[in-house]
Amino acid sequence: MTFLVLHQLQTSRGGKIILNNVSLQVDEGEFIAILGPSGCGKTTLLRTLAGLETADHGQIYLQQQEISQLPPSGRQLAMVFQSYALFPHLTIRENLLFGPRARGEDRKQFASRLQEVAGLLELEPLLDRRPGELSGGQQQRVALGRAIIARRKLCLMDEPLSNLDARLRQTMRREIRQLQQSLGLTMLYVTHDQSEAMSMADRIVLMNNGCMEQCGTPAELYQQPASMFVANFIGSPPMNLFPLTAIPPQQRYLPSAETAADVVLGLRAESLTLTSPAHGRVQATLISHEFMGSDTRILCRLAGGSEVVTVKMEGLRHFEPGTPVGLAWDDQAEYRFHRHSGQRILSGPAGLPDQRFHALS
Ligand SMILES: Nc1ncnc2c1ncn2[C@@H]1O[C@H](COP(=O)(O)OP(=O)(O)OP(=O)(O)O)[C@@H](O)[C@H]1O
């Protein structure tokens, strides 16, 4: 059932459009990651939803009720900020109960609600401490606890893990996802980390310059990128993108009605294999390699040009820089994009069956 609807939201600041015509439908219990580079409007989208920014136009509906004109306190949602926004002079107990107290909720239930949330988030031993006496991860849990104790069905989170080290971030990702699923929360979660979005979300909204570039499951964004921007943002390493003219004419399968100069070819690093120079579709020279643990990433420069591509191979590999090699790939692994618009070209190359083109058209 549709729980939240954003309809053509536009928000400006200082005469500049920050959010441009954003529309989205979210089901109850869904985890949506709002992903994009710095400055693309993620925080503004969350703040507009929470009523902390005023939209120029557009509507927001929560459970079929329009909330666009309501003040933040009337919107019935919880928000967790990047900075945690805990009161430093209050104990953790007081921080957790601050919201229910301020809203004048039933005091008789405070003890049981506190116990429930503290138990869920393993905060019991910390209740009498102040935020300054907690680690970053513990403070993050308290911030989460404040959202949960509010018993709001919609929870907005703005980069909640960005102050934590890499290992703790991994643990907290799983904890937040498990809590969200077990409590049936609907979550909008802002991050600029594509691996965080990929590992946590049911769907990802990828934003670019105030607009929604693509919305879909992590697999859809990875396998069916709508544009070069998406192909370059999703995946580690990002998709190799180079002009079709960088490969020999006999290897260029051209989409109908395009010239090679207008087409950018996209190949995922794991779709490429290294061969002897004579057996490759193109020739290249090894530049360097990086061992990542489970795989090795090999950087190669295409012959006759300056384009560098990354090849991903399982396990530990050793290569001599400067070695001539060939690169091979299946026709089915190719993506094509318009050089100027950046949009994916969905018409198949002449005479070449391609499941992906059919899937999208
Ligand atoms: N008060 C303001 N006046 C004018 N422009 C602003 C103001 N606050 C933010 N902006 C601009 O709005 C754009 C979007 O900002 P926003 O904070 O929503 O981006 P973001 O995607 O969350 O970025 P980050 O990941 O760096 O937090 C940016 O270009 C920013 O410079």
| Shared domain check, 288 and 146 | no
Domain count, the chain: 2
Ligand 1: atom nearest CA of 44 is: 18
pTM: 0.88
Confidence of residue 348 (pLDDT cuts 50, 70, 90): low
Q: Are 344 and 226 in contact (CB under 8 A)?
A: yes
What is the tens place of the pLDDT at every residue in 55-105?
999 999 999 999 999 998 888 888 888 777 889 999 999 999 998 888 888
Identify the domain containing residue 189 by its residue range. 2-223
Closest CA to 193 of 33, 32, 312: 33
Average pLDDT over residues 339-348: 85
Domain end call among 203, 223, 243: 223
| Shared domain check, 211 and 239 | no
Q: Whose CA is nearest to atom 12 of ligand 1?
A: 18
| Shared domain check, 269 and 209 | no
Confidence of residue 164 (pLDDT cuts 50, 70, 90): confident
| Shared domain check, 309 and 283 | yes
Task: Assign residue 202 the CATH number of its domain.
Answer: 3.40.50.300
| Shared domain check, 240 and 161 | no
Instruction: Using the predicted structure, report yes or no on whether residue 29 has a pLDDT greater than 80.
Output: yes
Domain end call among 190, 223, 256: 223
Task: Assign residue 315 the CATH number of its domain.
Answer: 2.40.50.140
Ligand 1 centre to CA of 72 (Å) is: 20
Instruction: Using the predicted structure, report yes or no on whether residue 203 has a pLDDT greater than 80.
Output: yes
| Shared domain check, 240 and 194 | no
pLDDT recorded at residue 347: 63
| Shared domain check, 197 and 168 | yes
| Shared domain check, 144 and 28 | yes
pLDDT recorded at residue 255: 62
Amino acid identity of residue 251, one-letter, is Q
Average pLDDT over residues 143-163: 86
Rounded Cα gap, residues 156 and 171, in angstroms: 20
Ligand 1: atom nearest CA of 82 is: 27
| Shared domain check, 269 and 210 | no
- Residue 192 CB less than 6 A away from ligand 1: yes
Q: Are 229 and 216 in contact (CB under 8 A)?
A: no
Domain end call among 223, 245, 265: 223
Choice between 258 and 272, residue whose per-residue pLDDT is larger: 272
| Shared domain check, 233 and 216 | no
| Shared domain check, 210 and 84 | yes
| Shared domain check, 178 and 128 | yes
